[in-house]
Structure formats: C-alpha cells, structure tokens
Chains A and B, each alone.
Chain A
Amino acid sequence: EPEVTQTPSHQVTQMGQEVILRCVPISNHLYFYWYRQILGQKVEFLVSFYNNEISEKSEIFDDQFSVERPDGSNFTLKIRSTKLEDSAMYFCASSQDRSRPVEQYFGPGTRLTVT
C-alpha cells in the first residue's frame, strides 16, 4: 500500500540553524500539508500546498518557514533560523484530488529537537 515517507525521523539542531524536513507524498496525490505537534499538545495545521503554491497557512507559519516541491516527488519544509519553541513532531500529509481531497494520509513524522 502506498504511504507517505518522511526523513529524517529525528533531527537535532542548534538554535539559529536552518533545517529542512523532507517528505515524499503518495505519488498521485495533489494536495500537500504540514502539521506539527508540540510534545503533549494537539496536532496543529501549518500550511497547505496545491498546484505549486501555498493555498493556506496558519499564524504559526511565519517568515521563518517555507515550503517547496523541488521536483515531482519531494515536499520540503524549511525553517530558516530555528528557535527552541520549534521543537516538535512535524507531520507531512497528502491527499488525492478534488473528488477525494478530504482523506489525508500522514507520514510517520520527523521529531525536531532544537537545543
């Protein structure tokens, strides 16, 4: 069964450093999302991406964040200058098309630790 993959599974970085989290969505999916889950808190929407552009972003997704689909398979989340409060589990998700856009498939997540 196709699945969403994410790399790395765990990333440790120092405050102020840039990180790139990578995701490979399911191949025929068209909608892409990033969510995050701070330890002990709920999963929060960060950004949605469709047709090579951001379709919606939350207030969390400030200028330090960016997303990109550099090729036909990868979907990346970049944090330019990490802060301690960026420590969280980051989930990538994808969904299929306009006829079935609501069912999102999630990756296993990348745990980001900022020290």
Chain B
Amino acid sequence: AQSVTQLDSQVPVFEEAPVELRCNYSSSVSVYLFWYVQYPNQGLQLLLKYLSGSTLVESINGFEAEFNKSQTSFHLRKPSVHISDTAEYFCAVSTTSGTYKYIFGTGTRLKVLA
C-alpha cells in the first residue's frame, strides 16, 4: 500500500519570498507523483507530475518539484511566490499499473502575505 505525508498543514510566506512544500511518500512498488492545487471553492488542478525521466519537473507558473527516490520525497518549490499562489496544495501518488488510483496527502495550505 502507498501513503503520502505532508508534514506542514499551513505555510505562511511573504510575497516574493521562496517557499518549499514538503511531500514524502511510502510505497513498496514504483509510483507516479503529482502535485495538485485547489483554489478556494474550486476543484483540483494538476500542477505538475513526475512519471519518469528527469527528476526535476516544472510547471508553467514557476513551481518545480524534484523526485528524490532515496529520500522518497517530492518537495514542491517556488523561488518567488505571488499573492495569487494562495491555495491548498496536495501531493499524490499513483501506482504505475492497475487502476492508477490516487493516494493523497493531507494538503498544505499556502498563504501568501503582502
């Protein structure tokens, strides 16, 4: 079975400061890794994913995440946040075969302060 841990339930950060949202996973088999973002009163939007290849993946809005197999981590980073990045961020894993269901972490609420 797989599990995902997001240790930080809330992360306040000032605008234009860097941020890191932590995600660790546990699995006995290979997994795919995802970050989803949920803005207030909206659904889940895919931010970025790691399926294979380069361990550093980037999104179009400046976020990046690095897959670290030895540390079983997939931390999300942004060098300079904006007010509009305020949202809930969910890390998720899926198996690489079968039903590909997602196992989500508990989420991290990023609050960007002016």
Contacts and interface: CB of A to CB of B under 8 A. Distances in A.
A2 to B, nearest CB: 14
A103 B46 contact: yes
Q: Is the interface of A mostly helix, strand, loop or mixed?
A: strand
A94 to B, nearest CB: 12
Contact of A101 (B46, B49, B92, B100): B100
A61 to B, nearest CB: 11
Contacts, number: 58
Contacts of A106: 36, 43-45
Nearest to A55: B99
A35 B102 contact: yes
A56 B43 CA distance: 23
B51 A102 contact: yes
Nearest to B106: A42
Interface string B62-101: 0000000000000000000000000000101010101111
Interface residues of A, number: 25
B103 interface: yes
Contact of B99 (A41, A44, A50, A109): A50
Contacts of A104: 46, 100, 102
Contacts of A25: none
Interface of A: 4, 31, 33, 35, 41-45, 48, 50, 55-56, 91, 93, 95, 101-109
A45 B100 contact: no
Contacts of B94: 102
Contact of A43 (B98, B100, B104): B104
A72 to B, nearest CB: 21
A91 B92 CA distance: 15
Nearest to A107: B43
Instruction: Across the A-B interface, give the 4 residue pairs with the lowest CB-CB distance, nearest first.
Output: A108-B43, A106-B44, A43-B104, A56-B99
Contacts of A4: 43
A45 B103 contact: yes
A91 B51 CA distance: 23
A103 B44 contact: no
B43 A95 contact: no
Contact of A42 (B45, B101, B105): B105
